[in-house]
Amino acid sequence: MQQTLVAEHPGLAARLLVRRDEPGALQTWMETYACAASAQGVDPDLERSIRDRALSLAAVLEGPRHVEAFERMLD
């Protein structure tokens, strides 16, 4: 999913992180996205594209996805 998004959106950087947990526990994944091509980062259109692509993961996820957005405080 992330490879497709990166190919479709030049300048998009995507990473998938997995929280370290107890062996055998359900995994917690965190997707991160940054867009160097835009001064505002991930804009609403790109966020919508990410959300739409992520629908393909619904069958393998335990619980809902949610979005958190952060801004750089200092340059």
Q: In a 10 Å sphere around its CB, with 0-12 CB exposed, 13-18 middle and 19+ buried, how is residue 12 labelled?
A: buried
Confidence of residue 12 (pLDDT cuts 50, 70, 90): very high
Against a cut of 0.95, is the pTM above it? no
Does residue 13 have a pLDDT over 90? Answer: yes
pLDDT tens digits, one per residue of 43-71: 889 999 999 999 988 888 888 888 888 87
Helix locations, the chain, DSSP H: 2-8, 44-54
Over range 17-38, report the average pLDDT: 84
